[in-house]
């Protein structure tokens, strides 16, 4: 079950949208409540509109007075919920949301491949003339939906964003193209934040629609991702809905803006979990799956987002530009990016004991300079062509994209180099303690000549140091208690950096042993619970 609260500020627009659907034969009158007449659908649409406007006219200060909700059962939901049950649950929903005593009208729509319902009412209390509190509306509705699904054992077949995306899918084969185009125009005509016709047309482009001149009139064309027309254009004059800019100031409420902002931030986070770099076109496709339509303003050049579920334009330049600064004109997923780094580390590990030996020009940097994180570390020439993954992934790229990839990988090494050094040193210490402890267990002297030479052990008074890492020496203690402590320490292995380093065979074995121990513990716990 999907229930959407449409942020429509203008009550006449919301009600007349549904009335128009009835006139076109795409909807029917379904239910009403708390009205003066027992059947307000016996009169013309002005009667129903005035029933709401008479209440709203008592409050001249509030904005966004309209309450417009769509109830969208899935196909399997419709098998469980008959008309009588839907009427009952809409009444329960209105009470749950705080509008139980308000007059409202319900329309049953059949213009899509599924039946759905629209509820139109007002947020102005018919008794007091004050605006009904609508804080945390989305959270309240989610609780109602969850209760409804549990009550009737409904299955969530399709997420809200997918449902919204399917409503506006335009391609070369859809049979109801005209109806879908009119639905998009109707949606935009009811939306907040569209300032002028230029912005209107920019948003249309996010839906793959383009308005062009043709003779004395205009046509609307359906385009593909490369802006090529894929259907015979429709004449604007033949459409029942055309461009309309709301004359009244129509700003969405702060609570709604905050909710959309969270969705936008979440959408970008998911996008960049997948992509290290992606172009605006690919970003728009990914965000559309979340119900967010990314478009670029022809006037300002800034990116904005249109949110069809809430019928509003989201234009926070700081948030959007902050996210889109990572956009480039080519695509590279995180998986491919890290595959190149991991493979290049493998190539370096075949030549050097430590990865940093293949990256840092140690002849040009002192230990003191390395410790200062503000200093730029001098790098050797990074030959990514030695990585099979780099050659495979960049084989289809042009020279500029390939150059960007090389630069991005070098920047990543520059950014991570100090953490790589620290991790290498800790692994080096751990290796020493492990081998020293193995010698003690086999009744050998702990610090054998071979071990001292391998790690270049230096002794000053009672303190020992390892001097085999090129960046700096590491202090070690041969005290048995300290030895046990260091061998028990696992938290110094930084996961993301460790993956970049050569993984020692002993570390893989210890991970496997650790996993086996965890499985055994869980198994024992399970047996204990059964007993």
Q: What pLDDT sits at residue 267?
A: 85
The whole-number average pLDDT for the span 340-345 is 89
- The length of the chain is 531
399 and 483 both lie in a single domain: yes
**167 inside domain:** no
pLDDT score at 34: 95
Q: What is the mean pLDDT of residues 192-196?
A: 84
Q: Domain check: are 351 and 486 in the same one? A: yes
Per-residue pLDDT band at 414 (split at 50, 70, 90): confident
- For residues 367 and 312, state if they share a domain: no
My answer on whether 388 and 475 are in the same domain is: yes
pLDDT the model gives residue 112? 61
Q: What letters, b where the CB count within 10 A reaches 16 and e where it falls short, cover 105-134?
A: bbbbbebbebbbbbbbbbbbbbeeeebbeb
Please report the pLDDT score of residue 9 as a whole number: 60
pLDDT at 85: 94
pLDDT of residue 531: 61
Written as one string, the DSSP assignment of 142-177 is HHHHHHHHHHHT----S-HHHHHHHHT---SS-TTH
Domain assignment present for residue 96? The answer is yes
d(CA 429, CA 475): 8
Whether 112 and 178 map to the same domain: the answer is: no
Domain CATH code at residue 92: 3.30.930.30
- At residue 326, the pLDDT reads 64
Q: Is the pLDDT of residue 491 over 70?
A: no
Average pLDDT over residues 163-174: 66
First to last CA, the chain: 41
Q: How far apart are CA 232 and CA 246, in angstroms?
A: 30
Unique residue bearing structure tokens 């749950």: 96
How does pLDDT run across 199-237, given as a tens digit for each residue? 999 999 999 999 988 888 898 998 887 778 888 888 888
- Stretch 439-464: mean pLDDT, rounded? 85
Confidence of residue 374 (pLDDT cuts 50, 70, 90): confident
Rounded CA-CA distance 239/245 in Å is 16
Q: Are residues 372 and 424 in the same domain?
A: yes
196 in the same domain as 154? no
Is 503's pLDDT higher than 50? no
- Cα 302 to Cα 307: distance, rounded to the nearest angstrom: 16
So what's the pLDDT on residue 520?
A: 79
Over residues 265-299, the pLDDT tens digits come to 888 888 888 888 888 888 888 888 888 899 988 88
Which distant-in-sequence residues (6+ apart) come within 8 Å of 99 by Cβ?
A: 67, 121, 123, 132
Shared domain for 379 and 242, answered yes or no, is no
CA distance 364 to 380: 10
pLDDT given for residue 330 in this prediction: 79
Per-residue pLDDT at 129? 93
Mean of pLDDT over the chain: 83
Residue that terminates a domain, selected from 274, 300, 329 = 329
Q: In this model, does residue 404 exceed pLDDT 70?
A: yes
| 475: enclosing H helix or E strand | strand 474-476
CB contact set of 267 (below 8 Å; sequence gap of 6+): 287, 290, 292
Is the model's pLDDT at 524 over the cut of 80? no
Residues 51 and 126 in one domain: yes
Name the percent of the chain lying above pLDDT 90.
Answer: 26
Supply the DSSP symbol for 34. Answer: S
Which of 123, 158, 193 finishes a domain? 158
Q: What is the distance between the alpha carbons of residues 148 and 218, in angstroms, rounded to a whole number?
A: 47
Beta-carbon contacts of residue 443 (< 8 Å; ≥ 6 apart): none
Name the more confident of 153 and 309.
153
The answer on pLDDT for 386 being more than 80 is yes
Q: What is the pLDDT at residue 159?
A: 45
pLDDT of residue 506: 46
Total domains, the chain: 4
Residue 474 and residue 518 in one domain: no
* Full residue range of the structural domain in which residue 268 is found: 174-329
Residue 519 is assigned to a structural domain of this protein: yes
Please give the structure tokens belonging to residue 258: 């905050």
Give pLDDT, residue 51.
94
Question: Does a structural domain hold residue 83?
Answer: yes
Categorize the per-residue pLDDT at 238 as very low, low, confident or very high, splitting at 50, 70 and 90: confident
Residue 35 falls inside a structural domain: yes
pTM of the model: 0.52
pLDDT digits (tens, 9 = 90+) for 6-45: 766 678 888 988 898 898 888 999 999 999 998 999 999 9
Mean pLDDT of 230-256: 76
Given a cut of 90, whether residue 191 has pLDDT beyond it is: no
How confident is the model at residue 202, as a pLDDT?
92
Average pLDDT over residues 520-527: 76
Q: What number is the average pLDDT over the span 79-95?
A: 93
Percent composition of the chain: helix, strand, coil (DSSP 3-state, to 5): 50, 15, 35
Q: In what order do the strands lie in the sheet with 104-109?
A: 2-6, 66-72, 116-122, 104-109, 27-33
pLDDT at 101 over 90: yes
Query: In the predicted model, what is the mean pLDDT of residues 238-258?
Result: 73
Q: Please determine, for residue 405, whether its predicted confidence score (pLDDT) is greater than 60.
A: yes
Extract the tokens encoding 58: 């008592």
* Per-residue pLDDT at 477: 84
Handedness of CA 77, 79, 83, 87 (dihedral sign): negative
Q: Which of 226-230, 419-423, 515-519 has the lowest mean pLDDT?
A: 515-519
Q: What is the DSSP letter of 131?
A: B
Same domain membership, residue 282 and residue 145:
no
Last residue of a domain, one of 329, 364, 395: 329
DSSP assignment of 208-263: TEEEEEETTEEEEEEB-TTS-B-SPPEEGGG-S-------S--PPPHHHHHHHHHH
* Residue 387: inside a domain: yes
267 closest CA partner among 252, 281, 287: 287
**Residue 393 belongs to a domain:** yes
Task: Indicate whether 153 and 198 sit together in one domain.
Answer: no
Q: For residue 57, tell me if it sits in a domain.
A: yes
């Amino acid at each position: 079950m999907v229930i959407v609260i449409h942020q429509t500020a203008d009550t006449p627009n919301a009600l007349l949208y549904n009335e128009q659907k009835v006139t076109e034969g795409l909807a029917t009158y379904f239910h009403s409540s708390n009205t003066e007449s027992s059947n307000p659908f016996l009169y013309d649409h002005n009667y129903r509109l005035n029933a709401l406007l008479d209440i709203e006219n008592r409050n001249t200060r509030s904005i966004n007075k309209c309450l417009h909700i769509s109830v969208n059962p899935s196909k399997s939901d419709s098998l469980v919920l008959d008309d009588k049950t839907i009427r009952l649950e809409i009444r329960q929903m209105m009470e749950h949301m705080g509008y139980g005593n308000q007059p409202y009208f319900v329309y049953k729509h059949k213009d899509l491949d599924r039946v759905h319902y629209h509820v139109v009412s007002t947020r102005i209390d018919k008794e007091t003339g004050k605006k009904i509190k609508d804080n945390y509306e989305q959270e309240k509705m989610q609780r109602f939906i969850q209760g409804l699904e549990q009550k009737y054992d409904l299955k969530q077949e399709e997420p809200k964003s997918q449902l919204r995306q399917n409503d506006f899918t335009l391609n070369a084969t859809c049979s109801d193209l005209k109806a879908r185009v009119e639905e998009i125009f109707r949606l935009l005509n009811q939306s907040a934040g569209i300032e002028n016709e230029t912005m209107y047309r920019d948003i249309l482009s996010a839906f793959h629609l383009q308005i062009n001149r043709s003779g004395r009139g205009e046509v609307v064309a359906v385009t593909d991702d490369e802006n090529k027309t894929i259907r015979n254009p429709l004449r604007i004059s033949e459409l029942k809905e055309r461009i309309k800019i709301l004359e009244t100031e129509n700003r969405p409420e702060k609570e709604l803006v905050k909710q959309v902002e969270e969705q936008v931030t979440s959408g970008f986070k998911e996008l960049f979990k997948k992509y290290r770099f992606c172009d605006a076109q690919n970003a728009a496709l990914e965000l559309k799956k979340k119900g967010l339509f990314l478009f670029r303003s022809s006037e300002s050049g800034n990116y904005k987002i249109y949110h069809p579920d809430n019928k509003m334009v989201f234009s926070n330049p700081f948030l959007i530009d902050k996210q889109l600064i990572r956009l480039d004109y080519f695509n590279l997923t995180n998986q491919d990016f890290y595959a190149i780094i991991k493979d290049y580390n493998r190539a370096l590990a075949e030549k050097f004991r430590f990865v940093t030996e293949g990256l840092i020009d140690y002849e040009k940097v002192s230990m003191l300079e390395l410790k200062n994180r503000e200093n730029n570390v001098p790098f050797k020439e990074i030959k990514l062509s030695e990585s099979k993954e780099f050659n495979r992934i960049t084989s289809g790229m042009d020279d500029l994209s390939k150059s960007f990839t090389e630069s991005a990988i070098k920047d990543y090494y520059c950014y991570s180099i100090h953490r790589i050094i620290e991790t290498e040193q800790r692994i080096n210490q751990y290796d020493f303690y492990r081998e020293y402890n193995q010698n003690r267990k086999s009744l050998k002297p702990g610090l054998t000549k071979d071990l001292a030479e391998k790690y270049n052990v230096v002794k000053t008074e009672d303190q020992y140091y390892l001097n085999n890492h090129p960046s700096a020496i590491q202090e070690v203690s041969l005290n048995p208690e300290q030895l046990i402590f260091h061998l028990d320490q696992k938290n110094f292995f930084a996961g993301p950096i460790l993956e970049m380093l050569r993984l020692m065979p002993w570390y893989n074995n210890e991970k496997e042993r650790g996993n086996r121990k965890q499985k055994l513990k869980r198994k024992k716990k399970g047996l204990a619970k059964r007993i």
